[in-house]
């Protein structure tokens, strides 16, 4: 099959592979034939759609209160990449994946904490990831760690940790593309 664009795979840990050939391992052809569905479908019917959410920029990662996060972006819509998070959240608790796109027009973006740990991989762009320490009421924060990143950088982000991405704007077409995988637990 020919693939193009971004291809990120996230799977739950399992040992439920059913093999039918081309391997020296145990094969169970009869069982595989019983569970395969032989019905034609269009590829578009099988594509898992994500939910889009616009990312709003902030002036700085050090915030005095949640009121400092702007209601609307002051950035024009002519950015190379629209700043957004597209969440791919299947109907299972095992995992979800966010596709994070940050426009070159947005220098700093803050991310709210998740209830689970996550892994963030940088696909495009350069900058600094700043881990924030939030007060008990989550009304103020300060930077407690700052790490520079480049393409291919991977970060482990603990559950309950808020962070900022501060983009290095080197060229007119600068932008950040990253993917974040985490357990698909309720935010409630």
Is residue 31 included in any domain, yes or no?
A: no
The phi, psi pair for 98, rounded to 5°, reads -105, 135
Q: Show Cβ contacts of residue 178 under 8 Å, excluding neighbours closer than 6 positions.
A: 100, 102, 120, 121, 122, 123, 125, 165
Q: Which of 19, 34, 52, 99 is catalytic?
A: 19
Range(s) of the domain holding residue 174: 51-182
Is residue 86 included in any domain, yes or no?
A: yes
Is residue 22 included in any domain, yes or no?
A: no
| Predicted confidence (pLDDT) at residue 91 exceeds the cutoff of 60 | yes
By the 8 A CB rule, do 185 and 93 touch? yes
Structural domain tally of the chain? 1
CATH number at residue 143: 2.60.120.10
| Predicted confidence (pLDDT) at residue 67 exceeds the cutoff of 60 | no
Least confident of 73-82, 91-100, 106-115, 120-129: 73-82
Is residue 58 included in any domain, yes or no?
A: yes
How far apart, in whole angstroms, are the C-alpha atoms of residue 158 and residue 169?
A: 27
By the 8 A CB rule, do 97 and 85 touch? no
Share of the chain above pLDDT 70, in %: 80
Assign 87 a pLDDT band (cuts: 50, 70, 90): very high
Is residue 32 included in any domain, yes or no?
A: no
The verdict on whether 180 is a catalytic residue reads no
Q: What is the pLDDT of residue 145?
A: 86
| Predicted confidence (pLDDT) at residue 31 exceeds the cutoff of 50 | yes
What count of Cα atoms within 13 Å lies in the side-chain half-sphere of residue 175?
14
| Predicted confidence (pLDDT) at residue 66 exceeds the cutoff of 60 | no
How far apart, in whole angstroms, are the C-alpha atoms of residue 148 and residue 166?
A: 9
The stretches of the chain forming alpha helices (DSSP H) are: 29-35, 43-46
Least confident of 34-38, 42-46, 75-79, 101-105: 75-79
Q: What is the pLDDT of residues 118-158, one digit of tens each?
A: 999 999 999 999 998 776 555 666 778 899 999 999 999 99
| Mean per-residue pLDDT over the chain, rounded | 80
Is residue 39 included in any domain, yes or no?
A: no
């Amino acid at each position: 099959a020919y693939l193009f664009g971004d291809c990120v795979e996230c799977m739950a840990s399992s040992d439920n592979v059913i093999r039918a050939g081309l391997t020296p391992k145990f094969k169970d052809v009869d069982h595989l034939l019983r569970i395969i569905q032989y019905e034609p479908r269009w590829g578009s019917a099988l594509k898992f759609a994500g939910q889009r959410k616009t990312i709003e920029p902030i002036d700085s990662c050090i915030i005095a209160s949640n009121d400092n996060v702007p209601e609307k972006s002051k950035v024009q819509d002519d950015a190379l990449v629209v700043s957004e998070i597209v969440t791919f959240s299947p109907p299972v608790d095992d995992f979800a994946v966010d596709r994070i796109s940050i426009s070159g027009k947005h220098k700093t973006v803050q991310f709210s904490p998740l209830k689970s740990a996550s892994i963030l991989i940088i696909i495009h762009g350069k900058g600094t990831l700043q881990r924030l320490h939030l007060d008990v009421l989550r009304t103020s924060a300060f930077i407690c760690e700052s790490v520079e990143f480049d393409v291919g950088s991977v970060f482990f982000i603990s559950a309950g940790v808020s962070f900022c991405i501060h983009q290095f704007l080197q060229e007119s077409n600068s932008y950040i593309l990253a993917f974040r995988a985490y357990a698909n637990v309720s935010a409630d």
